[in-house]
Amino acid sequence: MADGGATTTGGYPGFPGKIGRIREESEPHWPPPLRPRPGAPNIVIVFMDDMGWGDIGCYGSEIATPNIDGLAQRGLRFNHYTTHPICSPARAALLTGRNAHSVATGWLANNNPGFPGYFGDIPLDAPTIAETLRAAGYATVMVGKWHNSTNGVAPNQTWPTYRGFDRFYGFLEGETSYFFPARLVYNNIVAPIDEYPPGYYATDDWMDKALGFLTEIRNQNPAQPFFLYVANNAVHGPLQAKEADLATYRGRYDAGWDALRAARLERQRALGIVPAGTQLSERDPLVPAWDDVPAEHKALFARHMETYAAMLDCADQNFGRLVAFLARLGELDNTIIVFSSDNGGTNSAGPGGNIHFNRRFAGLPALPTAVDTDRRDWIGSGRASAVYPMGWAQVSNAPFPSYKTYTGGGGRRVSFIISWPDKMKDGGAIRTQFAHVIDVMPTLLDLAGAQPLETSHGRPAKPMQGNSLAPVLHDATAPAPRTEQYYECWANRAYYRDGWVAVSLQKRGEAVDFDNWTLHAHAEDFSESIDLRRQHPQKLQELVEAFDRAAWENMVYPLDNRTPTQKFNELPPHQRPAAGGSRRRFLPGSQTVHRGVVTPLVADRNFTISVRIRHGAGDQGVLVAIGDVTGGLVLYIEDGQLRLTYNGFGEFHSLLGPPVGAGAHVAALDYEARGGRRGRGRLMLDDVHGDWAELSPTLMNGMHEGLDIGLDRRAPVDWDLRERHGVFRYGGTIEEVVIESGPFAPDSPYGKA
């Protein structure tokens, strides 16, 4: 029907322009683009992992950190900045400006015990700094370690790109190899990496990608400010470093931890980062005097700290690359840079350290020190999952007592540096005002002129609990914007108020002691070494009561002081493996199946892994691999025979199976968990099976990698096999892999989780 020419006034709902039937009768309208305020600064956070208060040069260390020290000369150092003393909670607090328990992250993200303060995923009504800055017109970039998602298997609303980051490159869990990172994620996909190039090292890779992302942003838009979050996993275990960096520190720690710790305190006094009268806290009773350490152990222990220092040196080199890039852009002076750590140095490997530290996550005791001594040269390489002895952690945390996961000074007090040359003119100065990790986000928003979000993901936004430090940054005499703060981690507790701190530390696996508080006064005891509870019982009671109120307000309760095995192996009911067994089929042609999918199928239980193949004469290679250098198994064909290497978290076993001729076959490993973490296995080819042989201990958590089909990607289960064949791709055809899980061992902690 022809148009009669009549016009109808009106338009489209919500469109402010005018709409007619033709362009000449219409008026266009363009929504104004999102623009940050003129001159808005770039913002960079460089976050270290498990780095102690005294580990960088400008806080008294002997480790070479000239680039970080240069940041301190351009900016400000805080000597009373605190954090939540373990990674996931510290990162959640940093990203949200809210207490960790109040955003459901009172413990590690991948261990959900089923209580509101510990669910593990930052709730959607707690907007992150990335979401807030993106809404203010910033480009947002993250590289490195996330560790704030309970579901690392498939993309979901907890992943970085769903929580405000335009670009993400890194890993989602708590730790990974530096030479062979497991399951790197690029935005929302698992990066298709089968093997890394020679010379690869994760700390370098994070900075390569960060600088690439920033270059991309500048090429697209020369004026848009950016927010960059460099979430290093250095210097978290496994202790692994490049040989060139290791060479710098060979022999530097032969004097031992007592001498190195005392020397750090002297430098701290000289720098003015601690008051002149500061004393070292007493050496932990579990840490032997260095003079009492046997000579063969001294060489082993020193190798750990040489590696730790080399890792931090490498992180500093990469920080220098970032600073040089910003200077080349001409934007260094208008970039706010924050440098800090998630928590202090760790005592988790005990007095002797541990080359095969991931045995702890698998619920296994450490191997004898003699084994570590024989394998000393593995430390620093990709072959070991080493963590240093706790004597070095006392050096890292000097002058404070205690460690990561503990609420004493060594766990919760970390270095903090902030620089903004355009606006902060007191370069090189030290601020003594109290501050906490939740103050970082409100400070950066304040400095950038960005408003906190009122809504988040369709819900009213939780208000931030942090306070801006901006007044302190501009005025050395300004009062601290915060005067009190609670702390809790693994049932350890503390409460700070107006220069006083009460601390309660627990013994793992024992009933929580609600009455073992100590009391410290910072005005006379910077290192928290003097217990004043008997002199000031009323002050102690005041702080204990304040902790209890804050604990209820922030969802800290219930306290959980179970052992590492109990905590690390707990799963919600819907994620627990079927106790009676199950059958799972896996197909070749995908990236590594996530460890969280595979581990429950083989953890401390009977299982059979069957691989259906079409084999040609001369074909060889890996059929299936589970795990990596930390622990696992690899089933392969080499020189015409079916073979197995079983890595029981540093205890190695090999099986030789039947010869494999050309044709269709089913190759299998049959495994029996016998209790007490003992197990045995046999190889089968079709109807032919070998004899049972010892394969102990049973597998459990602690592996970084999951399931590979047709090759052993990235970190190998069998180091010598990798030396011979690389990732060792199978030359024949794999039709499917089937894992049939049977009953758990009678005493299995996994089955009872």
**Maximal CA-CA distance, the chain:** 104
Q: In which element (H, E) is residue 694 found?
A: strand 693-694
Of 84, 147, 665, 725, which is the active-site residue?
Answer: 147
Q: What is the domain extent for residue 588?
A: 573-744
Q: Evaluate the CA torsion angle 76, 79, 81, 87 in order and state its sign.
A: positive
pLDDT at 7 over 80: no
Report the candidate in 162, 89, 164 with the shortest Cα–Cα distance to residue 120. Answer: 89
29-33, 337-341, 616-620, range with the lowest pLDDT: 29-33
Q: In which element (H, E) is residue 394 found?
A: helix 390-396
For residues 693, 694, 698, 699, the Cα torsion angle rounded to the nearest 10 degrees is -60
- Residue pair 632/706 in contact by the 8 Å Cβ criterion: no
Report the candidate in 145, 147, 139, 288 with the shortest Cα–Cα distance to residue 215. Answer: 139
Residue 147 appears among annotated catalytic residues: yes
pLDDT of residue 4: 47
pLDDT of residue 342: 98
Of 58, 84, 87, 489, which is the active-site residue?
Answer: 87
pLDDT of residue 5: 47
Helix, strand or coil for residue 214? Answer: helix
Q: Is residue 753 part of a domain?
A: no
DSSP bridge pairs for 624: 635, 709
- Token pair in block for residue 186: 């690029």
Rounded to whole angstroms, the Cα distance separating 661 from 642 reads 10
Residues 548, 588, single domain; the answer is: no
Rounded to whole angstroms, the Cα distance separating 476 from 427 reads 12
Whole-angstrom CA distances from 31 to 14, 17, 28, 458 are 11, 10, 10, 22
Domain end point (choices 421, 451, 481): 481
pLDDT at 578 over 90: no
Q: At what angle do helices 440-448 and 87-96 cross, to 10 degrees?
A: 30
Average pLDDT, whole number, for the chain? 95
Residues 514, 593, single domain; the answer is: no
Mean per-residue pLDDT, 180-184 = 96
- What is the three-state SS of 277-313? CCCCCCCCCCCCCHHHCCHHHHHHHHHHHHHHHHHHH
Domain end point (choices 481, 510, 529): 481
DSSP codes, 570-639: ---GGGSPPTT-EEEEE-SSSSPBPHHHHHHHHTTEEEEEEEEEEE-TT--EEEEEEEETTEEEEEEEET
pLDDT of residue 626: 98
Q: Is residue 25 part of a domain?
A: no
Report the candidate in 148, 631, 16, 686 with the shortest Cα–Cα distance to residue 355. Answer: 631
Rounded to whole angstroms, the Cα distance separating 559 from 571 reads 18
pLDDT of residue 753: 45
- Residue pair 533/540 in contact by the 8 Å Cβ criterion: yes
Reported as a pLDDT band with limits 50, 70 and 90, residue 261 is very high
Residues 531, 587, single domain; the answer is: no
Q: Is residue 299 part of a domain?
A: yes
Q: In which element (H, E) is residue 202 found?
A: helix 202-220
Residue spans of alpha helices (H) in 417-491: 440-448, 470-474
pLDDT at 9 over 90: no
Rounded to whole angstroms, the Cα distance separating 278 from 116 reads 40
pLDDT of residue 1: 45
Helix, strand or coil for residue 358? Answer: helix
pLDDT of residue 751: 57
- Token pair in block for residue 261: 């710790």
- Token pair in block for residue 392: 């070095």
Q: Is residue 601 part of a domain?
A: yes
Tally the domains of the chain.
3
DSSP bridge pairs for 681: 671, 693
Mean per-residue pLDDT, 185-198 = 96
pLDDT at 486 over 50: yes
Q: Is 50 exposed, middle or buried (0-12, 13-18, 19+ CB in 10 A)?
A: buried
Q: Is residue 183 part of a domain?
A: yes
164-178, 271-285, 440-454, 739-753, range with the lowest pLDDT: 739-753
CATH of the domain at 621: 2.60.120.200
Residues 515, 655, single domain; the answer is: no
Residues 464, 546, single domain; the answer is: no
Residues 681, 737, single domain; the answer is: yes
Q: Is 126 exposed, middle or buried (0-12, 13-18, 19+ CB in 10 A)?
A: buried
pLDDT at 569 over 80: no
pLDDT at 54 over 70: yes
Residues 584, 558, single domain; the answer is: no
How confident is the model over 334-393, as pLDDT tens digits? Answer: 999 999 999 999 999 999 999 999 999 999 999 999 999 999 999 999 999 999 999 999
How confident is the model over 77-98, as pLDDT tens digits? Answer: 999 999 999 999 999 999 999 9
* Residues shown for the chain: 753
Q: Is residue 30 part of a domain?
A: no
| Contacts (Cβ under 8 Å, ≥6 apart) of 324 | none
How confident is the model over 279-306, as pLDDT tens digits? Answer: 999 999 999 999 999 999 999 999 999 9
Reported as a pLDDT band with limits 50, 70 and 90, residue 752 is low
Residues 563, 517, single domain; the answer is: yes
pLDDT of residue 717: 98
pLDDT at 489 over 50: yes
Residue 111 DSSP label: -
Mean per-residue pLDDT, 685-710 = 96
For residues 721, 723, 727, 733, the Cα torsion angle rounded to the nearest 10 degrees is -50
Q: Is residue 23 part of a domain?
A: no
CATH of the domain at 501: 3.30.1120.10
pLDDT of residue 335: 98
pLDDT of residue 3: 52
pLDDT at 713 over 90: yes
Residues 495, 474, single domain; the answer is: no
Residue 87 appears among annotated catalytic residues: yes
Residues 688, 663, single domain; the answer is: yes
In degrees and rounded to multiples of 5, residue 217 shows phi and psi of -60, -45
Domain end point (choices 541, 567, 593): 567
Helix, strand or coil for residue 212? Answer: helix
**What is the distance between the terminal CA atoms of the chain, rounded to a whole angstrom?**
73
Residues 352, 441, single domain; the answer is: yes
Higher pLDDT, 563 or 400: 400
Q: Is residue 131 part of a domain?
A: yes
Q: How many helices (H) and strands (E) does the chain have?
A: 16, 30
CATH of the domain at 295: 3.40.720.10
Residues 334, 350, single domain; the answer is: yes
